[in-house]
Amino acid sequence: MGGRHRTDELEDGYTPYKEPQPRRRRGGRGKVLVPLAGSVALAVLLGVAAFVVINRDRDGGCAGEALPLRITASPDIQPALSQIAERFNKAAHDVEGRCAAVTVAKGISATVASSFSGGKATAMDVWVPDSKLWVTNLRARNQEVPEAGASIAHSPIVMVASGSVVPNLKKSFGEASWGGMINAANVANVDGPGRKVRVLVLDPSLNAAGLGALLAAAGVATASGAGEEQLVGALKSLSGSTSTVRDQDALLSSLGVQGSKAPLGISSEQGVWAFNKGKKPEVPAVPLYPAEGTINLDYPVVVTAKDAAVRKAAEAFQKELGSEASKKTLQDQGFRTPDGKSGKAISASAGFQAKAPQAIEPPDGKTVARMSQTWSRIKLGSRLLTLLDVSGTMALPVPGTGLTRMQAITRIAVEGMKLFPVKSELGLWEFSTHLNGRGVDYRETVPVGPLTQDINGALRRDVLNRRLIATRARSTGDTGLNDTLAAAYKQMTDEYQSDKINTVLILTDGAGNDDPDGGISNRQILKRLKDQFDPEKPVSVLIIAFGPDAPKGKRQMDALAKATAGDAYIAKDVLEVRKFFLEGMSRRLCAPNC
């Protein structure tokens, strides 16, 4: 019987497992009779020879046939486990009359986790991912996934920078902290440390260090009382293509690239050690330990085997992993023991903190799943249609600002556009009354489409900016808000895109619908929105009002937004719009179950 070929797992770090070849059996009797004594002697000699060949590298007394124990381990810990397995095999461990034979293949944890979801995780007996977070996330969806066993090693999740920028980084960033990372990454904090610091994260859907960093930062933000919009602002910034890195080595390599901002990344402590030892950069990467503590990569043992004998072999090998010799092997490869003790590799002389940082307990499965979902949704593009009020009241001044309502609202729109990455699709309508012929209260000025799309020789983003700045209120126009919203909501619903967050944004002075020539009533528009809102294909309404009349219309604005799992805000300052956009975004991330 030939070995099985695992063609489904050759990509993304899997090493195929090959079963040991069975012993060949002699077929048929020979034509020459051999004396009985000679036959026995020959059999004994052959048996002894076979025993010597099979056990020549073994120190123990195990003489049975091999009992394969197939382990798939995270690539960072696989070399150390292979060394331990070699010693284990040499010691000849007997399991029910057979010799345990351990092989350790590499398997990227995210890839193996995906194979569990696809029902293909059968070609291994033991899984050693880099973090229990993978197992927690899997079990939140499927309780049949085996529980994570004991941890065999630890590696704290740290911030990391090139040694050449650490002094300047500390001047602008201060001591390393998760709170500081959020502050620097928050897209709404235009005057914060993000002006001088560029935060890089590992894609949390592919890296436990990336997911653990976000969970630690979120926990710190919640404990400090920081608003959820600050975390969303950081996530929105970090989810951009230039801030998220798929591979730890790629992130560490990029830290030495000079730029206007000092790069600050995320890594496991062992990853920093391995990078410096293997790549030998001219300026080593330096780990920075967050002041609030951190989550550890904990390398649990997950036994997936069903066969009783194989499970016993797994128990025996797991016991070996707890031996002093195994602990030293792991420490020599840059890991800590589960109690946080480091070896010579992780030492102060090498730029590390010998004492284990304070540990932050990983959250429960629901929290891990929620963060994973938040990241997935925040990476979605945005598709937003802005409805801009150009009615007569928009020409009135806003007391104490030196601005008209129109000028204030357009500044809000321009400020809000800065939050949208290049993948976003935006469009603009104006509304008043009879703007596009009798009874049509709205006019499309820029159709919804990609910000980077060319419109008559200019990018849509630039066209939108110019159009907003040039917009003037119609001195005699009324406010046909309801008719406009009905048409816009239907269009966005009809053109719904599942890979984007779909939103209708209303920018107004808050006076509400004022359409003396008829049109849809307040009650009718609410009923229409409730009927059309589909939780499976959510299109939310976000309303931002500015001006002294805004409080008067707040009740109706709240009702319109609530009908579509949206939000309504009254801005007191133009710069508040960043906070409102992020608060609205945080709600849309959880819609319709906020």
> In sequence order, what are the residues at sequence separation of 6 or more whose Cβ sits closer than 8 angstroms to the Cβ of residue 476?
392
Task: Please check the confidence at residue 10 and state whether its pLDDT lies above 50.
Answer: no
What was the pLDDT predicted at 227? Answer: 65
Q: What integer is the mean pLDDT of 90-113? A: 95
For residue 505, name the pLDDT band (cuts at 50, 70, 90).
very high
What pLDDT score was predicted for residue 168? 86
Per-residue pLDDT tens for 362-372? 998 888 988 88
Q: What is the pLDDT of residue 461?
A: 94
Whether 7-17+47-153+299-346 and 155-297+361-373 share one fold: the answer is: yes
Quote the pLDDT of residue 517: 80
Tell me the pLDDT band of 408, cut-offs 50, 70 and 90. Answer: confident
> What letter represents residue 126's amino acid?
V
In the prediction, which pLDDT does 587 show?
Answer: 65
**Share of residues in the chain with pLDDT > 90 (%):** 57
Q: Where are the alpha helices (DSSP H) in 142-247?
A: 166-173, 178-185, 208-224, 228-238
pLDDT above 90: residue 38: no
Are 546 and 398 in contact by the 8 Å Cβ rule? The answer is: yes
> Can you give the pLDDT at residue 5?
35
The number of beta carbons lying within 10 Å of the beta carbon of residue 344 is 11
Q: What is the pLDDT of residue 113?
A: 93
As a whole number of angstroms, the distance between CA 253 and CA 257 comes to: 8
Closest CA to 387 of 494, 252, 492: 492
What's the token pair of residue 208? 């436990």
Look at 174-183, 417-426, 526-535 and tell me which has the smallest mean pLDDT: 417-426
d(CA 133, CA 135): 5
Task: Measure the CA–CA gap between 262 and 170, rounded to whole angstroms.
Answer: 10
Q: What is the pLDDT of residue 241?
A: 63
Q: What is the mean pLDDT of the chain?
A: 85
Q: Does 36 have pLDDT greater than 80?
A: no
544-567 pLDDT tens trace? 988 888 888 899 999 999 999 999
Q: In the predicted model, is pLDDT for residue 171 greater than 60?
A: yes
Report pLDDT for 589. Answer: 64
d(CA 67, CA 82): 17
Q: What is the mean pLDDT of residues 103-125?
A: 87
Mean of pLDDT values over 448-466: 95
Query: Is the pLDDT reported for residue 100 higher than 70?
Result: yes
Buried-exposed string 242-259: b where 16+ CB fall within 10 A, e elsewhere: ebbbeebeebbeebbeee
Residues 311-331: tens digit of each pLDDT = 999 999 999 999 999 999 999
Q: Regarding the domain with residue range 7-17+47-153+299-346, which homologous superfamily does it belong to in the CATH classification?
A: Periplasmic binding protein-like II (3.40.190.10)
Count CB-CB contacts under 10 A for residue 94. 16
pLDDT of residue 296: 98
Mean pLDDT of 208-218: 95
Res 411: pLDDT: 86
Residue 43 pLDDT:
33
- Per the CB < 8 A criterion, the answer to whether 263 and 165 are in contact is yes
Domain boundaries, the chain: 7-17+47-153+299-346, 155-297+361-373, 380-590
How does residue 122 score in pLDDT terms, banded at 50, 70 and 90? low
Tell me which of 134-148, 229-243, 248-262, 518-532 is least confident. 229-243
Q: How confident is the model at residue 477 (pLDDT cuts 50, 70, 90)?
A: confident
DSSP state string for 425-445? EEEEEEESSSBTBTT--EEEE
pLDDT band at 35 (very low <50, low <70, confident <90, very high): very low
Architecture in CATH of 380-590: 3-Layer(aba) Sandwich (3.40)
Position 53 pLDDT exceeds 80: no
- Which residue, 576, 590, 194, 235, is CA-closest to 416? 576
Q: Quote the pLDDT of residue 420.
A: 82
Res 568 pLDDT > 90: yes
Q: What is the pTM of this model?
A: 0.78
Residue range 105-134: mean pLDDT, rounded: 89
Position 12 confidence tier, pLDDT thresholds 50, 70, 90: very low
| pLDDT of 592 strictly over 80 | no
Contact between 441 and 431 (Cβ < 8 Å): yes
Q: Looking at 170-184, 320-334, 441-455, which range is the least confident one?
A: 170-184
- 155-297+361-373 topology per CATH: D-Maltodextrin-Binding Protein; domain 2 (3.40.190)
Check residue 248 and give its pLDDT.
95
For residue 6, what pLDDT band results from cuts at 50, 70 and 90? very low
Measured between alpha carbons, how far is 112 from 129 in angstroms, rounded to an integer? 8
Res 7: pLDDT: 33
